[in-house]
Amino acid sequence: MMPVTATRTDFSDLSVDDWYTIVYRSINEPVIDGVEMPRFPHADIQRAYIGAADAGALYVARNFHDYTTKWAAALGHPLGKDSRVLDFGCGWGRVLRFFWHEVAAENLHGVDVDFDAIAVCRNLGVPGTFETIKPDGRLSYHDGAMDLIYAVSVFTHLSLKSADHWMAELHRVAKPGCVLAITVESRKFLESIADRAGSPDSLRSQLIGRYKDRMPELLADFDAGKFVFMENGTGGVRDNEFYGDAAIPESFFKERWGHLFRVTGYIEAHEHVGQALVFAVKD
């Protein structure tokens, strides 16, 4: 193994394509050009969180980073080394590591309700500061702290009560001009449940499959602009009060949370990130 001989605050001197190449190399190369890179958990741990591992796990993360940095720049809020970024529901840090390109590690932050996920981030050397939060808790950051807040496959699982709570809390820690980037399930998700055939191949598929017969009703609710939530909690921090599967229409997002974050885009990006993307700004 090459000795660690260099340190980096960020990688902004590299093109984004060169940076993506380095992140993918880091799957098998823990030290690149003398810089210690964040490591990867065992493939089984990766799959337990997102159903993919290594290069497969990075596909969505890379595309999300690409969408988000370009959208933030287009809104007049490009990221720099001093930008403060919050990964809300960071998991094992597959997404946050990509933002090390633009942002200094000291300004990257990750939170999750899963204590084990936070421990993994710290143990792997994922750039940033990490904290465990409670499902109905409060973030430790001061008001107006963040320049970018994002959540990948988080609001896809929150009950309306939980989503209301966290949207208000994210608004509190967002500074004026803060960009919010989150993934949500759209109508396509509900359609995929209605079209499922055969035996479910995972616990989550089994839980979701219970709602197949209700899809006509739930699709009608979605088309009427309603928040669609299916209880699929497995206990603990993923209790049914907080956790399940949610589909959020664009109109609902605007009506419910538009006073907190002004929506600037609702993009069907399933091919690239597996879900729809919502971009919004705190005015």
Beta bridge partners of 245: 230
pLDDT at 260: 99
Length of the chain, in residues:
283
pLDDT, position 3: 46
Q: What pLDDT is attached to residue 229?
A: 96
Residue 239 banded pLDDT, cuts 50, 70, 90? confident
* pLDDT mean across residues, the chain: 93
The single residue listed with the structure tokens 């088309």 is 223
Is pLDDT at 200 greater than 60 in this prediction? no
pLDDT of res. 5:
44
- The pLDDT score that the predictor gives to residue 9 is 86
- The two tokens of residue 257 are 């949370």
- For residues 2-14, one letter each, b for 16 or more C-beta atoms within 10 angstroms of the residue's C-beta and e for the rest, the string is eeeeeebebbbee
- At residue 2, the pLDDT reads 41
Per the DSSP assignment, residues forming a β-bridge with 87 are 110, 150
Q: Quote the pTM value.
A: 0.93
Domains of the chain: 60-189+217-281 (3.40.50.150)
The stretch 12-16 carries a mean pLDDT of: 96
188-198, pLDDT tens digit by residue?
999 988 776 55
Tokens at 39, concatenated: 């490591």
pLDDT, tens only, 156-166: 999 999 999 99
Whether residue 1 has pLDDT greater than 70: no
- At residue 211, the pLDDT reads 84
C-alpha 213/C-alpha 65 separation (Å) is 36
Indicate if the pLDDT at residue 70 is higher than 90: yes
Is residue 235 very low, low, confident or very high in pLDDT (cuts 50, 70, 90)?
A: low
* pLDDT greater at residue 238 or residue 141: 141
pLDDT surpassing 90 at residue 207:
no
What integer is the mean pLDDT of 249-257?
Answer: 99
